[in-house]
Structure 1
Amino acid sequence: MLRLKTDPSPHHGHHFHFEDLRAPNALLLALEGRAPWEYAALLASMPWLRKLPRGDGHPVLVFPGLGANDFTTAPLRRFLDGLGYVTHPWGQGFNFGPRQGVLERCTHDVRRLFNAHERKVSLIGWSLGGLYARELAKELPDHVRCVITLGTPFTGHPRATNAWRFFELVSGQSVHDPHVLAQLRREPPVPTTSIWSRSDGIVAWRCSVVAPGPQAENIELHASHVGMGMNPLALYAIADRLAQPAGHWKPFEPHGARRWFFRTPQAEAKHAA
């Protein structure tokens, strides 16, 4: 059974103090209105995206964000299905936080897909859904192939988002448990990709930065928070990550024209050194 363990040890590797983070300002929040344009860009770029390498048919479980349901992840899942993956919605209606039975159902679903396909499951989580994906990977590392998160706030404090009051309202839980926050900051023991945007109007972007490591990476792109799961750049990055052969994960490298659209802080640090 998946539970948030109480590990009070701090997460190292970031150059900022968690308590100094603030929620995105009013301008960034207003820019969330560009999400419909991101969906339009997805439709326009679909002929190009469909030419990406075919998937190997392994199962992919997709978790929606706070207050969202499987309808919001449908464009992403349709895209991945078209590439040859076998995607699955989370199937629990609106995501109102880890209420009674939610995490247990998620654990059951990962085990079920692993057994049905006899292959490890890739987990994709948008915003709050990314926290589920990360925690499931910690609980079931032998069942999970990789984790990909979109604008997920796993570092900092939940008050560094513009959604923490809504989370407390709909989940009935407090965001101020330091032991839970410490647990969320721990990296999963599987290949992990965090996709985030500095122009995110809901989550302070630093809350989505992983400490780069042998199996952890950051991919920065231009996107809104509520449109990230249908942003063509995000979908391109997701497809690139999923296409890697099992057991042969490598960090994302924005070669050629990709340098105009993606930034990978871990690669920049390597070149600077």
Structure 2
Amino acid sequence: MPADRPDGSPGLLYLLAEARAPLEAAALIPTLPSLLGAPTGDGHHVVTIPPFGAGDAFTAVLRAYLGRMGYVTHKWGRAEILGFHRLHTIAVRRLREVVDEAGGPVSLIGHSLGGIYAREVARADPENVRRVITVGSPFAGDLKSNVVWPMYESVTGTRIESIPDDVMARMNEPLPMPATAIYSRTDGVVSWSSCIDAEAPLAENVAVPGSHIGLIHNPAALHVIADRLAQPAGVQQPYAPDGWRRLVTRAGPWRRPRSSP
């Protein structure tokens, strides 16, 4: 496969390879016994945030799996994942609705732009967030290192260049709670290097093979999610894949150096 293009976005062959996404979902059937053997949860509440252009139906498989593994799952429950100006009016308000129901901090999982929202919601209200897991989310570096940014600008009316420098810098900073960034080096929509966190005690990056669209239904990614959620609150032990996952999953293969102050 070719390297990323000069602007950082994936090349054409990566994008064409997104057609393999249905195969990732189909692989859930033969790997289900292994997935059900992942560590079970403690019953805490988890909010799933879908990607740009998709609704809660897109996270239905993830929610069903996590429900089976012992978590109380919540839809995003909002019609849109749009501009950052809606962060407090929509996103933080939704978090607090779930926190009120849960009676304590909850975990957030977001795919693609949903993961960027998960991180910024957690940053805005850290006392109410237990853990953050992003799946193919381009939160780091250049927000144009993907193939959908023109559509994002057109739909939201938000220009990437208009996002203040301090906001961009903050997005690149590690979170104050345990965070796991799941990414694929063969992602056809976003540059994989924009999906990994800076080196920090509570930050972790895990690479799995797969497409961008199919990553949320990818058996290896689902196992990582279940394993990470099963850790106690405030704990971030390195992900240690076993069995067949050792052949396809790489924890912490590369981390961005933390920016100098």
CA 1:47–1:196: 2 relative to 1, 3 Å: same
CA 1:224–1:267: 2 relative to 1, 3 Å: closer
CA 1:266–1:199: 2 relative to 1, 3 Å: closer
CA 1:251–1:239: 2 relative to 1, 3 Å: same
Deviation, 1:47, is 2.8
What is the number of residues matched between the two proteins? 249
The letter for the 2-side match of 1:216 is: A
Cα-to-partner distance string for 1:50-84 (whole Å, 9 max, x where unaligned): 23222111000011111111111111011001111
CA 1:127–1:112: 2 relative to 1, 3 Å: same
Contact 1:127/1:152 (8 A) holds in 2? yes
Trace 1:116-195 onto structure 2 (pairs within 5 A): 116-176=101-161, 177-179=163-165, 180-195=167-182
1:218 aligned partner: 205
Deviation, 1:248, is 2.7
Trace 1:1-273 onto structure 2 (pairs within 5 A): 21-95=7-81, 97-98=82-83, 101=86, 103-176=88-161, 177-179=163-165, 180-255=167-242, 257-265=244-252
Contact 1:99/1:171 (8 A) holds in 2? no
- Alpha-carbon RMSD across the aligned residues, in angstroms, is 2.0
What TM-score do you get using the length of structure 2 for normalisation? 0.89
The letter for the 2-side match of 1:173 is: T
The range that moved more, 151-160 or 198-207, is 151-160
CA 1:216–1:100: 2 relative to 1, 3 Å: closer
- Alpha-carbon distance in 2 for matches of 1:182, 1:267: 20
Report the identity percentage: 42
The letter for the 1-side match of 2:181 is: S
1:15 aligned partner: none
Which structure 1 segments of 5+ residues have no match?
A: 1-19, 269-273
Which structure 2 segments of 5+ residues have no match?
A: 1-5, 256-261
The range that moved more, 211-220 or 111-120, is 111-120
Question: Secondary structure, in 3 states, of the residue corresponding to 1:145?
Answer: strand
User: Which 4+ stretches in 1 moved above 6 angstroms?
Assistant: none
Contact 1:212/1:218 (8 A) holds in 2? no
- Alpha-carbon distance in 1 for matches of 2:106, 2:247: 31
- Alpha-carbon distance in 2 for matches of 1:248, 1:157: 30
Contact 1:66/1:129 (8 A) holds in 2? yes
Deviation, 1:28, is 0.1
The letter for the 2-side match of 1:114 is: V
